[in-house]
Amino acid sequence: MKVLVTGYKGQLGYDIVNECKKRGIDAVGVDVEEMDITDAAIVKKVINEGDYDAVIHCAAWTAVDKAEDEVALCTKVNVDGTRNIAVICEQLDIPMMYFSTDYVFNGEGETPWNEYDKREPLSVYGDTKCEGEKIVEKLAKHFIIRISWVFGYNGNNFVKTMRKLASDRDELNVVNDQFGSPTYTYDLAKLSVDMIDTDKYGTYHATNEGVCTWYEFAQEIFRLSNIDIKVNPVTSDAFPAKAHRPKNSRMNKNELDKNGFSRLPDWKDALRRYIEIIEEN
C-alpha cells in the first residue's frame, strides 16, 4: 500500500507517516513546499504521478483567531485545498481521509456530540472545516475523523505551552468552563492507519477517552512534569478571543464502536507517555 500524507510537518501528519513506516506501508509525507494544496494543478500532478492507494489529508489552517481576520486565506486552505484533493481522489477512485474538528458544532450543552448531529459552526475556522466535510462526504470512499485538543511530538501544543509558561511564572490562570478530551497524535495515528486499510468509510469521532477542562488538563500536565506552580481556574471571559470557543467539545464514539475499531486510551495515560517522551529528548 502506498499512501500520501499531507501536512507532514504538523503533529498528526508526522506521526501518521512514522506509523505507516513502522508497518511497512510506503508513506510519502508532503507539506506546502512539496505540494501546495491550494494549487489545483500541483495537487493533480503530485497525486497522479505518485500512483497512491489513498490520501490522508492532515494539512489545514488551524490558527483559529487569525482566521477571523484572514477569512479568504483560511477558506483557500481548508475549503479549496480540500476540494482540490477530493477531486483527484474521486477521479482515481482512491480513499480520502480528512481530519475535522469539534468546532463544526455550536459547542453548547453538556451532551456528547454524535457523528450526525447538526453542524452549526460559530467561527470562520469551524465554518471552513465544516465546508471541507461537505466536500469529502460526497466521495464514495471517504473517512472524516473529528478530533480535538491535539498534542504531539512534532509541533506546538497546549502541553508545551503550559510547561514553557511555568518556567518563568509563579502562577497561571487557566480556563475551567470548556470541556473536551485531549488527544495524543501518536494514538490517533495508529487508529488512522488501521482505518485507511479498510473499506469502513464514514464519519468518526476519535479522541482519547475521558473528559476534562483546560484547567484540569493543565493541573495534570504539571503533576506529571513535577512542576510546582499555582493554577487558578477562571472562566472563558478572562481570555477574550476573536473566535468563539466551544464550551462543550465532548464527542461520543458510536461509529468507532459500531465498526469494530478500538477506542483510544485514556487521556491521562496518553499524557503520561507523551511527557516521558518529550523529557527524554
Q: Which residues are catalytic?
A: 125
Helix, strand or coil, per DSSP, at residue 121: coil
Which is nearest to 206 in space by CA: 160, 247, 267, 124? Answer: 267
Helix, strand or coil, per DSSP, at residue 110: coil
DSSP 237: G
The pairing of beta strand 212-213 with beta strand 179-180? antiparallel
Angle, to 10 degrees, between the axis of helix 124-136 and the axis of helix 81-92? Answer: 10
Q: Nine-digit cell at 21?
A: 513506516
Degrees to nearest 5, angle at CA 276 with 204 and 246: 40
For residues 140 and 202, give the distance between their C-alpha atoms in angstroms, rounded to a whole number. Answer: 9
The pairing of beta strand 264-266 with beta strand 208-209? parallel
Q: Residue 99 phi/psi, 5° resolution?
A: -95, 125
Which is nearest to 33 in space by CA: 8, 64, 63? Answer: 8
The pairing of beta strand 150-151 with beta strand 171-175? unpaired
CA 262 to chain centre: 18
For residues 147 and 12, give the distance between their C-alpha atoms in angstroms, rounded to a whole number. Answer: 11
The pairing of beta strand 171-175 with beta strand 208-209? unpaired
